[in-house]
């Protein structure tokens, strides 16, 4: 057993001076002072928060280890305070059958430093033609299905997928993108701002039209559905209306869509899918998160090589890395500067709410009996984001050089320190230099 002492612990939405006693399985006790001679973690001057949960991460391995590996991607998660992540299935080979999934799970177990839950594909090879055997995959403990990176192109196939998902109590997690709206070479939001720079735009309907189609099928079938990386005001409104009807639907928003707009785009490190949209869209996303039309924050961490991102806008890949900067960026903007959110609200968006939606029953909060997963943060420490110091192999971020508050000092998963400032890693555990 170990004890965290001297920190301010976020319990029931308040920071309280408490000690936390825990072992590798659970939090055993939380008291103002815990007696006993236990190994100690000193959190003096810091906040102790529940480990963050990210349901949208691209680890790239297997198939694209030149971009990221399971080890480097999960180390990046730990550096950002994330103790549970869900990894997207657009890897090679696609995890679209039980044999491939067994190999994938073994690879994750061997290399991941945080709790890592893989998605299975919705359709074989993410080709939108044949729905995978969800029942067999669900029996392995895989309850989340996504073709992220592409939308399921036909209503017929998506309906078949939703019917299967309902039968095995699984969740459809959808990247909605109707390619009929996207011209070859389009790379940014379709607006006057981007047109003036000579870039070809992607309209909001590219996202919202397929989302509206999907929500109509959800109403018919009655399955669980989650919408990835919402970026447009029309999509926020569609989810609001679906919830009013009582549909079992949720939606996520990324840190970059909460902070940046089309006018901010400077080049390839600002190119992501869906694109950064208008000021009105960004305000709709913030307000949608606050009023419950959207549910929580995810990252869509998407590492690429520098060589790939050095290509022209119409040729370079979509995506940015974000695991290591998410908390500090949002804490600085919405808690410190705007005072729009409390710390507890931000942590709920990043921990409690995604954990609850994705069935992690003992994650996302600091409570007796819950998982011993914590992030220790110096909320007052100001620093400059330096992409060269990322644990991720990807350095493709628009936030390099931003000055922020909220330095992650230590991340603990299953009672083990998996990341600590100024420490080196030995056999998955960090020790002081």
C-alpha to C-alpha distances, 212 to 125, 173, 419, nearest whole angstrom: 24, 14, 41
* Cα–Cα nearest to 392, from 299, 294, 322, 314: 322
**From the CA atom positions of the chain, what is the Rg in Å?**
21
Interhelix angle 98-111/70-79, nearest 10 degrees: 50
> Is residue 293 classed exposed, middle or buried when 0-12, 13-18 and 19+ CB atoms within 10 A define those classes?
buried
CA atoms of 3 and 1, how far apart (whole Å): 7
CA atoms of 174 and 138, how far apart (whole Å): 17
Phi-psi label, residue 275: left if phi above 0, alpha if psi -120 to 50, beta otherwise: beta
- Active-site residue, 29 included: no
CA dihedral over 56, 60, 66, 72, signed as positive or negative:
positive
C-alpha torsion 147→152→155→161, nearest 10: -20
Q: Of the residues 96, 214, 300, 373, which is catalytic?
A: 300
C-alpha to C-alpha distances, 269 to 50, 264, 394, 433, nearest whole angstrom: 30, 11, 11, 33
Task: Decide: helix, strand or coil at residue 141.
Answer: coil
Active site (catalytic) residues = 300
């Amino acid at each position: 057993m170990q004890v965290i002492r001297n920190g301010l612990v976020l319990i029931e939405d308040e920071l309280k001076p408490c000690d936390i006693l825990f072992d590798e399985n659970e939090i055993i006790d939380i008291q103002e002072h815990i007696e006993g001679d236990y190994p100690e973690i000193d959190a003096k001057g810091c906040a102790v928060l529940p480990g963050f949960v990210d349901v949208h991460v691209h680890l790239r391995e297997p198939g694209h280890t030149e971009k990221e590996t399971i080890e480097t991607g999960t180390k990046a998660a730990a550096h950002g305070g994330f103790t549970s992540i869900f990894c997207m299935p657009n890897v090679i080979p696609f995890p679209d059958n039980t044999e491939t999934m067994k190999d994938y799970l073994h690879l994750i177990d061997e290399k991941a430093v945080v709790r890592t839950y893989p998605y299975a594909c919705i359709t074989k090879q993410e080709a939108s033609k044949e729905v995978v055997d969800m029942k067999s995959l669900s029996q392995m403990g895989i309850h989340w299905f996504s073709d992220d990176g592409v939308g399921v192109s036909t209503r017929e196939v998506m309906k078949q997928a939703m019917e299967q998902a309902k039968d095995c109590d699984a969740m459809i997690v959808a990247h909605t993108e109707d390619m009929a709206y996207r011209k070859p070479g389009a790379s940014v939001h379709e607006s006057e701002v981007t047109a003036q720079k000579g870039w070809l735009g992607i309209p909001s309907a590219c996202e919202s039209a397929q989302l509206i189609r999907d929500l109509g099928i959800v109403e018919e079938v009655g399955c669980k559905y989650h919408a990835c990386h919402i970026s447009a005001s029309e999509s926020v409104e569609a989810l609001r209306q679906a919830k009013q009807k009582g549909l079992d639907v949720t939606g996520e928003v990324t840190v970059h869509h909460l902070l940046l707009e089309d006018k901010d785009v400077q080049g390839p490190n600002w190119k992501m899918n869906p694109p950064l949209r208008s000021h009105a869209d960004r305000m709709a996303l913030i307000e949608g998160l606050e009023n419950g039309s959207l549910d929580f924050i995810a990252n869509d961490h998407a590492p690429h090589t520098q060589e790939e991102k050095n290509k022209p806008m119409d040729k370079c890949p979509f995506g940015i890395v974000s695991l290591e900067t998410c908390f500090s960026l949002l804490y600085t903007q919405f808690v410190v500067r705007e005072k729009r959110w409390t710390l507890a609200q931000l942590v709920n968006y990043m921990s409690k709410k995604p954990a609850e939606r994705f069935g992690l029953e003992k994650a996302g909060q600091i409570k007796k009996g819950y998982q011993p997963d914590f992030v220790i943060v110096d909320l007052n420490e100001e620093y400059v984001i330096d992409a060269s110091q990322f644990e991720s192999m990807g350095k493709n971020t628009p936030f390099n050089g931003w000055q922020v508050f909220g330095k992650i000092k230590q991340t603990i998963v299953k009672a083990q320190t998996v990341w600590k400032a100024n420490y080196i890693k030995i056999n998955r555990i960090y020790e002081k230099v």
